[in-house]
Amino acid sequence: MTAMPLPKDHYDVVIIGAGPAGLAAAAVAGKAGLSTLVLDENAQPGGQIFRAITSTPVQRRDILGDDYWRGENLVAETRAGGAVIVQGATVWSLDRDLQIAVSLLGQSQIVKARRVIIATGALERPFPIPGWTLPGVMTVGAGQTLLKSSGLVPDGKVVLAGTGPLLWLYAAQVLRAGGAIDAILDTTPRGNYWRALPYALPFLMSPYRAKGLALMREVKRKVRVVSNVTSLAALGGDKLDAVAFSAGGAEQKIAADTLLLHQGVVPNVNLANAAGVAHRWDERQLCWVPVLDADGNTSVPGIAIAGDGAGIGGALAAAERGRIAAVAAVEALAPGKKSLTPDRSELSNTLRRAELGRAFLDVLFQPAQQFRLPEGDTIVCRCEEVSAARIKETIALGTEGPNQLKAFLRCGMGPCQGRLCGLTVTEMIAQARGMSPDAVGYYRLRPPVKPIALKELASMPHSEQDEKAVVRG
């Protein structure tokens, strides 16, 4: 047996992801006396929003803003509760037996849990435009990661394109950090403002409104903003040199060294999907969300999901959902310790307040169809370089779902496991066949959800009994 980096191989609660949801859940579970392990693949706790909260070189507090620094308290509270937070720990498999395979310091091992809370958050929605695979094109999320963890802002001619709150937040952060942005190409469809109107009232009462408007004003003072952009293409030979777009019917072109794309975030469903958790299509957020009860429990007994992985709700809602899932875990595993947990109905109330205004944002920032359903040579699957045209042809041959398409074209079979093409493929099939995305379904994802070195797998702790195989393929 090889020595294992984790002190124990079984825990009451294992929480995957140390963003707001995971940290808040761990604080509650730990405080109630459950043995609680948080596994997170980043070097520091905090997840996306509080990325590098304990280590960021960006020390001027106004640059990243108050909402960012709030993460400090959450980390401290979790540690005080007694949960073990392990960073640099990549979970690459979870199954219905609540066995978790995790890679840590180049060594993999299996940990067993009595309850699992998945808090793996969101990832950026694919933005498949012509040229999006060119060097020089990246996502706003990746840009923000560089800013938070290394204090870097993009240089040269910088263009941001897309829609959604993060686009504006990042733009403001870049400007505050002394960076420059040549243009923001806003792809929010004009019609969305009308469609979002029925949801406006709760939004007007929510904290998002004031913050959002202030951010946009701050950015618009310094940057050229083109609204109602209806087409986009990244141009260049072996790297980006310009962005072509149309707005108000006119075609335009601007020189660019860096193009940062963003059209919202969607739940990161890979681990849950591979564990067999049932998902459904969310018509408002246009993505897959897990089917959950009020406590965050999934279709797989013992597995709950909290945070943006449960449906996009933002950091405040994420933390509340994390606490709710942890209270449910305490109720299930140590009912006697219930008194040590926060009041459940109060958590629900706070959650409701945190979710105020979300519907308005969902509808307002719904990305336009042409940016979700690419055409022609535009690459859909980056790993296997499969174009929209090839996918369309294959669908026309009678391919009924993403899994059959995958088997024919290998799209979704690469190392990204469909993170960059899955939604596009589902929506393309739905459109071509005139069906709902829900009826079309999604890839059946397979572990490892993150690639693992053969060498590391070979050196996993094992027993002789495991060697006895039976048949040959």
Partner 1 sequence: MSEAADVIVVGGGIHGCSTALHLALRGAKPLLLEKDYCGRHASGVNAGGVRQLARHVAEVPLSVASMELWARIEDLVGDDCGFESHGQVLVAEDDAEFAACRARVDDLRLRGFTHEELIDRAELKRLVPAVSDYCPGGIVSRRDGAADPFRTTQAFRRRAIESGARLREGVRVLNIARRAGIWHVATTDGEFEAPVLVNAAGAWAARLAAMAGEHVPLEAIAPMLMITARVPHFLDPVIILRGRKLSFKQFGNGTVLIGGGHLGTAYPDENATVLDWAKLTASARTVDELFPVMRGATIVRAWAGIEARTPDDIPVIGHSRTEEGLFHQFGFSAHGFQLGPGVGSLMADLIVTGATNLPIEPFGVGRFLRGIEPPGTDSVLE
**Residues within the interface to partner 1 (CB under 8 A):** 93, 95-97, 99, 101, 110, 276, 400-401, 404, 407-408, 410, 413-415, 417, 446-448, 451-455, 457-460, 462-463, 466-467, 469-473
Query: Does residue 66 contact residue 48 with C-beta atoms inside 8 Å?
Result: no
Q: How far is the CB of 274 from partner 1 (least distance, A)?
A: 10
Q: Which two tokens stand for residue 331?
A: 């109720």
Q: How far is the CB of 3 from partner 1 (least distance, A)?
A: 16
**Structure-token match 């959650």, residue found:** 351
Strand ordering across the sheet containing 137-139? 137-139, 258-263, 158-163, 183-186, 224-226
At residue 110's C-alpha, the angle toward residues 444 and 122, to 5°, is 45
Closer to partner 1 by Cβ: residue 250 or 469: 469
Closer to partner 1 by Cβ: residue 273 or 341: 273
Closer to partner 1 by Cβ: residue 250 or 471: 471
Distance CA 232, CA 251 (A): 10
Q: How far is the CB of 98 from partner 1 (least distance, A)?
A: 11
Residue 396 Cα distances to 333, 393, 405, 409, angstroms? 51, 5, 11, 13
State the alpha helices, DSSP H only, in 165-259: 165-176, 190-196, 200-205, 207-222
Residues 6+ apart with CB under 8 A from 439: 430
Q: Give the DSSP H/E element, type plus range, for residue 104.
A: strand 99-104
Q: How far is the CB of 290 from partner 1 (least distance, A)?
A: 16
Q: How far is the CB of 133 from partner 1 (least distance, A)?
A: 17
Q: How far is the CB of 88 from partner 1 (least distance, A)?
A: 17
Closer to partner 1 by Cβ: residue 251 or 466: 466
Closer to partner 1 by Cβ: residue 300 or 315: 300
**Structure-token match 């926060």, residue found:** 342
Closer to partner 1 by Cβ: residue 205 or 457: 457
